[in-house]
Amino acid sequence: MTGETPLDVVKIVYDAMKLASVEEQAKIAIDTAAPTFAKPHEEEEETTVYDLNHFDAKSKDAPPKSADEMVEAYMELLLNFPVMTLEDPFHGKDV
């Protein structure tokens, strides 16, 4: 699955759940491991940004996301897929 975005991967898992007819019984748990792609903002070292280029080969030039932008991305997942839990969604100080 090289080049897939994290959202693409969740869609693939959900499609597999639907094919297996378990989308009503099964839920998705995601360990985002955000601390592994969190880094200090280049200009504001007190601020954490999240470098999704760490995963996404399609958009190597995409700017890092703020914690607020990550909340929006997580909300998209929670509203559109049967996600039961998000583990490590933020760097420790952003919680």
Residue with tokens 């890092």: 64
CA atoms within 13 A on the CB side of 78: 11
Instruction: Give the C-alpha distances (Å, rounded to integers) separating 88 from 2, 19, 25, 35, 84.
Output: 23, 29, 24, 7, 14
Helix (H) or strand (E) holding 75: helix 67-80
- Percent of the chain clearing pLDDT 90 (strictly above): 54
pLDDT in tens, 63-83: 889 999 999 999 999 999 999
Q: pLDDT of 22-73, one tens digit each?
A: 999 999 999 999 998 898 888 887 789 998 887 655 656 778 899 999 999 9
